[in-house]
Homo-oligomer: A and B are copies of this chain.
């Protein structure tokens, strides 16, 4: 039963602005201990100081108000600590990401864009274990990590060996919007039914592709996309279909980001691809 404080006094004790306090009242995150019925004044108790400070600390760390509400209303300590730890983990990841972004930006500003070596290749249709889902752009790395773990577990369970590097199919929506369909796959030799979690048997379709090898962190993938996409566009080779990535050396294989190797594969039209024609192919004849 602490003393009663006006909103201004309470603000000074807690270092939370008056506007913020009114907002927390509006969204029912921190209700004043009482309201003066005569004039509508909010009256806070000194007992509420600690709560307000906790809110302030979490907001300083960019925790959304909804999550702060969960922390404050957590029924048990376990649940509460889980919510807090989840946020601290997220912060840590963001710190790492920011540091990587800064390094990556420095290299973008320093290095001139080197025109990439582009190879043309026809990928044959391949039966694969695959997981296909709508994935938000921001969470793609975590999604891939989780999903490939599941795919490899499915291989183990089915006692099947991969017949090539793992890969991903990225719908146009994935790049154009904030989220889109992604298929993570691992090619297998035979048509085996997976029967494991979200894993399905999928035939990755055949496609004519322009391919560039991307060296290093996924943070810089956009540079390879830009270079390869420009290469294709400038030669008017573009075609429909999802963009592919092949994970030759993936985060599952190494912790050293510099050692990562990723093939970026841009779908191209065989009809317009001179190399393809020179190999004796006649794509306009129905296959």
Contact = CB atoms under 8 A, between A and B. Distances in A.
Interface stretch (A27-35, A55-63, A141-149): A55-63
A102 B233 contact: no
Question: Which 6 A/B pairs are nearest by Cβ-Cβ distance?
Answer: A13-B229, A46-B230, A49-B226, A3-B233, A3-B234, A15-B222
A60 B176 contact: no
A57 B108 contact: yes
A233 B172 contact: no
A236 interface: yes
Contact of A175 (B11, B53, B88, B225): B11
Interface in A211-235: 221-223, 225-226, 229-230, 233-234
Contacts of A101: 57, 60-61
9 contacts: A3-B230, A9-B238, A12-B225, A14-B226, A54-B109, A61-B98, A61-B101, A95-B98, A95-B99
A192 B57 CA distance: 43
A257 interface: no
A35 B222 CA distance: 25
Contacts of A3: 230, 233-234, 236
A271 interface: no
Contacts of A238: 9
